[in-house]
C-alpha cells in the first residue's frame, strides 16, 4: 500500500512466488498515482497489496477500485497480505479483494487458483 516501509515480508513472499514459477514485480510507491501507473503499463494476473497499519485499511477499498480500473488486465486477482492482517480478522470482501493471507505457501496456492480461473 502507498507509504508502506516494510520490505522484508514482501521480499520473502516474492521468493516463494518465483520458486512456484511466477514472474514478480515489487512496486514500492509513495503514492497511489505511482501504483496506478505501474499496473497500467504491464499485464498482471494478480495484484498483491501488503498493508502494515490500520490507517492503510481505511483507504484500501478505494485503492483496489483504482488499481482494477487502471489495470491492463480487466479482471486482475487482488491478494492482500501484510502485518495488519495478523492482528485483525478481516474479510477480503470488505475491501473488494479476492483473498487475504499471511502465509506464503497459502499465497502461492491462491495465486495458482487465480490463474486457473
Least confident among 33-47, 51-65, 79-93, 95-109: 33-47
Per-residue pLDDT tens digits for 101-115: 999 999 999 888 876
DSSP state of 8: H
- Residue range 33-49: mean pLDDT, rounded: 89
pLDDT digits (tens, 9 = 90+) for 3-15: 565 677 788 888 9
Using one digit for the tens of pLDDT, what is the confidence trace for 46-64? Answer: 999 999 889 999 999 999 9
Q: DSSP characters for 51-91?
A: --SHHHHHHHHHHHHHHHHH-SSSS-EEEEESTHHHHS---
SS3 31: coil
Strand order across the 77-81 sheet:
46-50, 77-81, 99-100
Amino acid at each position: 500500500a502507498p507509504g508502506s516501509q516494510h520490505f522484508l515480508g514482501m521480499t520473502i513472499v516474492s521468493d516463494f512466488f518465483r520458486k512456484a514459477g511466477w514472474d514478480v514485480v515489487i512496486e514500492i510507491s509513495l503514492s497511489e498515482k505511482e501504483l496506478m501507473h505501474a499496473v497500467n503499463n504491464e499485464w498482471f494476473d494478480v495484484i498483491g497489496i501488503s498493508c502494515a497499519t490500520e490507517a492503510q485499511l481505511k483507504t484500501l477499498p478505494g485503492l483496489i477500485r483504482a488499481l482494477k480500473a487502471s489495470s491492463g488486465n480487466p479482471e486482475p486477482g487482488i491478494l492482500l497480505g501484510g502485518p495488519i492482517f495478523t492482528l485483525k480478522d478481516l474479510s477480503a470482501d470488505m475491501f473488494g479483494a479476492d483473498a487475504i493471507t499471511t502465509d506464503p505457501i497459502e499465497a502461492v496456492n491462491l495465486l495458482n487458483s487465480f490463474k486457473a480461473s
